[in-house]
Amino acid sequence: MSLGSARGSEAVAGDAAGRATYEAAPNIALVKYWGVRDERLGLPYNSSVSVTLDGLRTVTTVAFDASLDRDELLLNGRKAPEKARRSVSALLDRVRARSGLTAHARVRTRNNFPTASGLASSASGFAALAGAATAAAGLELSPRALSKLARFGSGSASRSVFGGFVEWRAGRRPDGRDCYARPLFGPQHWPELRDVVVLIEGAPEKAVRSAVAMQATVRTSPRFAARQRALPGRLAALKRAIAGRDAEALFPLVMEECDDFRDVCETTRPPLDYLTPASRAVLEEVRRVNLEAGRAVAGYTHDAGAHVHVFVLERDAARLRRRLAQVPGVARTLLLRAGPGGRLVRRSA
Ligand code: PMV
């Protein structure tokens, strides 16, 4: 088994508060995190598995500065909305509490992909923030400890600290000590696997944060308990399919999980509907491709957003991509592979 690593997060030296830059990539969940069993400790109901994506990056610089009277956030070069600034401040508070620092910070963050579009900018964003802030504060955290911190910004960020195929284990202990993310296989484990990201025209911005929406599902979806019962078996089968690089086993499981996730969302009161008609047409097209071929050529999934990720092997990727690009309402497609984990880019005192 090869392990992906959060290069650099172990190698932080020095104790002076300064400035640091860290980059991280989004991940797409094959088994979804959806529901928190302990909000104070950030413990999920179920374990989740994701692939960290190559090519998409969030790069974040944190500079602590005693002359600031509050934390500042620039997102893609512009002053960020107050809600985003507050959630960044909340994670910085945890870093200050751990390091003994009291200074506020200037945070600059850039995505090379659309923000808040369902492309999981919160996962890469909070992984990059946790990496940059702890390094700037002079803390030396292991990748696991960094991932545990990142999850307080966004649960899925705990997985973006690592590259390749990553599992966030829910654990069973009430104190959360057995709840952490870990790499299952590095980015090179399955070189033929591709993710065709299908970007949907006019994808709406999220109205409700996932962290809030998922708790509505826990409280109100009559299907949530059945989902929890089905997950351990599905998760084990999915990990076996990844270990054996078995696409024809993996793709149907990925779609089954996605359909189950969508089902608990749609049966939440009031219903959570993240898809547009174009997203649904993409799912339909993937089903048709598989039906026509008489085998699982591809497997779709989506998170809490309108864009669709379609897993496929390299040999079928170009043809599938052309076909999905023709679905009305598709803006464009990206062809991605599994990619590396978070990385400290630079640090200065
Ligand atoms: O990490 P959050 O709080 O944005 O929630 C992520 C939820 C999903 O993307 C739908 C599932 C997942 O595991 O990434």
pLDDT of residue 204: 83
**What does CATH list as the number for 193-336?**
3.30.70.890
pLDDT of residue 114: 64
Q: Is the CB of 213 under 6 A from ligand 1?
A: no
Task: Provide the phi-psi class of 42: left if phi over 0, else alpha when psi is between -120 and 50, else beta.
Answer: left
From-to residues of CATH 3.30.230.10 in the chain:
3-188
CB 337 within 8 A of CB 195: yes
Q: Is the CB of 28 under 6 A from ligand 1?
A: no
CB 250 within 8 A of CB 299: yes
Could you tell me the mean pLDDT of each successive run of 10 residues in the chain, 349 residues long? Answer: 34 59 97 97 98 96 97 95 95 98 97 66 94 97 98 97 98 97 98 97 86 97 98 98 98 98 98 97 98 98 96 98 98 96 95
Q: Is the CB of 154 under 6 A from ligand 1?
A: yes
From-to residues of CATH 3.30.70.890 in the chain:
193-336
Mean pLDDT in the chain? 93
pLDDT of residue 349: 81
Question: How far is the C-alpha of 242 from the C-alpha of 226, rounded, in Å?
Answer: 24
- The DSSP-derived string for 67-123 is T-SS-EEEETTEEPPHHHHHHHHHHHHHHHHHH----EEEEEEEESS-TTSSS-HHH
CATH fold of the domain at 3-188 = Ribosomal Protein S5; domain 2 (3.30.230)
pLDDT of residue 115: 59
CB 161 within 8 A of CB 181: yes
Residue nearest to atom 5 of ligand 1 (CA): 210
pLDDT of residue 1: 27
- The DSSP-derived string for 154-173 is -TTHHHHTS-SEEEEE--S-
Q: What's the pTM value of the predicted model, to 2 decimals? A: 0.93
Query: What does the pLDDT look like over 25-71, one tens digit per residue?
Result: 999 999 999 999 999 999 999 999 999 999 999 999 999 999 999 99
CB 254 within 8 A of CB 301: yes
Question: How far is the C-alpha of 240 from the C-alpha of 234, rounded, in Å?
Answer: 10
pLDDT of residue 206: 78
Beta bridge partners of 125: none
Q: Is the CB of 217 under 6 A from ligand 1?
A: no
Nearest to 20 by CA among 9, 29, 28: 9
Mutate to test the pocket of ligand 1, among 32, 46, 115, 166 (most ligand atoms within 8 A of CB): 32
Residue 319: how many other CB atoms lie within 10 Å: 12
